[in-house]
Amino acid sequence: MFVVTTSHKPTRQLTFEARKLADTYNLPFVSRRRLGDFKRSHRVEGVYVLEKNGRLVLHVRGERLFFHPSAAKIRYLNIKKGLVDYLIKALEPEGNEIVFDATFGLGSEALLMAAFLKEGKVIGTEASVHIYRIVSYGLKHYRDEEEWVNEAMKRVEVIHADFREYLSKVPDGFFDVVYCDPMFKNPRFESSSMNPLRPVAVYDSVDTDDLEEFLRVARKKVIIKSHMEDDLLDRLGIRKVMGSSRSGVIYGVVRKE
C-alpha cells in the first residue's frame, strides 16, 4: 500500500493540497501525526510526502525519490564551458525537433535535450506510475533560479504509459528523433541520482522489434543509451557508438536511410 501525507506541522493549505493529491492518485490520505500508528497496523510500502516547500517526495525502501534538474544543470553548464556531452552530440539538435523519450525516468536527459530545442519539444512515456507521479508533479510545480530550466520544462511533456502501447497508436515518422534509456543490465549502484528510482522502476529492456518500431516513428534517427559493460547495443546490431570511456556511458545511433 502507498499513502499520501504531509511534512510535520502542516498548514491547513498544505493538508488540503495533500488530500487533493490522495484523491487524484486514489490513495489513502494519512495525517502526519497518525502516520506511525497507521504503519504499525497496515502494510505500507511507500509514502508520498508533500513538503512545506511544495516538493513531493516518495519515501520507499529507504530511498527518497523527488524531481530535481541537478544532473541536467551540471551537464548544461559543462556544455557551455565547451565540454562534449555525447547525448547532445548524438542528437545534433537544429532546435525545432520533436523528440520522443521512450523511458522518461526522472526526466534529466529530456530536460537537457529540451534546453536545445527552442522551437521543439520532448514527449516522454514513463511506465512506472510512481515515477510518473513524482516527475509530472515536479514539472508542473518546480521553479528554478536559472531561467533556462524553467523554459526547458515548458517544452517537456510526460505521459504515464508503456512506450510499446503508446507507439502502437503513433503514425510513421511522427517524431524527428526517438531516444531510449532503459535501466542498465549491470547497474552502477554508486550513481546516487539513479538509486532512488530502483525500487519503483520498470526494468524492461528493448529488443530488435522495439528498435524497428522506434525507426518506424522516427523521421531522422534513433538514439539508444547503454553502458560499456552491457551488451544491449550489440544485441540490437547498432554499430555507430559514441560515449565516454571514463563514465562507461555510451549512445548508439541509428539514422534513417
For 66-90, how does the pLDDT look when each residue is reduced to its tens digit (9 = 90+)?
A: 999 989 999 999 999 999 999 999 9
Q: Provide the pLDDT for residue 190.
A: 44
CATH 3.10.20.740 fits 70-255, yes or no: no
Lookup: cell for 87: 547525448
Per domain, the residue ranges of the chain are 2-54, 70-255
DSSP state for residue 104 in the 8-state scheme: -
What are the tens digits of pLDDT across the range 137-158?
999 999 999 999 999 999 999 9
Q: Rounded to 10 degrees, what is the CA torsion of 73, 77, 83, 86?
A: 20
Tens of pLDDT, residue by residue over 2-35, are 999 999 999 999 999 999 999 999 999 999 999 9
Amino acid (one-letter) located at 61:
R
pLDDT of amino acid 75: 96
Q: In whole angstroms, how far apart are CA 177 and each of 113, 117, 216, 236, 244?
A: 11, 12, 11, 17, 22
